[in-house]
Amino acid sequence: MMSDLLFPDIQPRRSGRLAVDDVHTLYWEECGNPDGVPVLFLHGGPGGGISPMHRRFFDPAYYRIVLFDQRGAGQSTPLGEYCNNTTAHLIADIEVLRQMLEVEQWLVFGGSWGSTLALAYGEAHPKVCLGFILRGIFLCTAAEVDWFVNGIGYFYPEVHAEFAAYIPAPERSNLLEAYSQRLFNADPDVYLPAARSWSRYEGSCLFLEPQSSAIAQFETDAVCMSLGRLEAHYMRYGAFMDEDQLVQNVGKIRHLPAVIIQGRYDVICPPKSAYRLHQAWPESTLHIIPDAGHAAMEPGIATALIKATEEFKLQGRFS
């Protein structure tokens, strides 16, 4: 069972809400050893949110585990809010959280969009990072955005056809813009069905073998409202970064240890991005998982993530 691959279920030692501006309030939680090596978990999406399973990639006897829901996601409020929501805002939020928790340095762990944010944060604040564990690399380049919106259809033609069919035929030449016009409408009768269609599209492609439970979860209002809106928002604006900024600036963090874990058959974030990052960062370690898609809960990926957190611990990379 998937659960057997992870550390035992744990509850937060403490949690809270952090107002970061007049619009957004973040939910955060801390688990594990209060005197342990701090590790920051960055969830995917944008808009994906954290779950109890995410606490379980880390040995709670060794790590001080910090998780939070990014702006507009999970238990942070308002749900799905894209106002005052950019990569720069999220980076600033992480620093506010770090300082509030009195963390000097931490290991940064992120998958999918979480890998994007981990790299952006590390390049902005390399001195507070101990290292990186990154999964399912997404650099938010124009090519990757186009792949997500259109290219997935080469592997999941029926899923993409359903995604496109939601949009009237005259608008299908630019699906991202057509979805955006609906997702950013103020009327929930307009944006919620569009968000559900967007989320169903992604959820159908997460695993090497599609799982109905994952698709159903992605279709819930709580998930689709934040995921659909915020993914389109960030993709529409290239994550508010210069094109290929994360690779261009990788020299700022090349001195830090990093493990990159990538599913061979990840159609959401294809392996080329992980390979490009590794080529620019040859000191990193790249693991291509031969029997996995995108999801962190693919058995091969989960096993590799656990191995990475254990190797960081056992090698004493933080002393």
Catalytic residue numbers, as ranges: 112, 266, 294
| 8 Å CB contact between 261 and 135 | yes
Measure the CA–CA gap between 142 and 121, rounded to whole angstroms. Answer: 20
Query: Within 10 A of 75 (CB to CB), how many other CB atoms are there?
Result: 17
CA pair distance 154, 205, nearest whole angstrom: 12
Closest CA to 208 of 114, 110, 115, 300: 300
Helix (H) or strand (E) holding 41: strand 37-42
Instruction: Indicate the DSSP class of residue 77.
Output: B
Helix (H, G, I), strand (E, B) or coil at 32: strand
Q: CA-to-CA distance for 300 and 90, rounded, in angstroms?
A: 30
Backbone phi, psi, residue 58, to 5° = -130, 140
Q: Give the count of beta carbons closer than 10 Å to the beta carbon of residue 17.
A: 12
Report DSSP state, residue 121.
Answer: H
Question: How many Cα atoms are found within 13 Å in the side-chain-facing hemisphere of 257?
Answer: 14
Q: What is the DSSP letter of 106?
A: E
CA distance linking residue 278 with residue 250, whole number of Å: 10
Instruction: Report how far apart, in Å, the C-alpha atoms of 12 and of each of 9, 60, 222, 271, 277 are.
Output: 10, 11, 22, 34, 33
CA distance 128 to 210: 38
Type of residue found at 74: G
Q: How far apart are CA 8 and CA 59, in angstroms?
A: 9
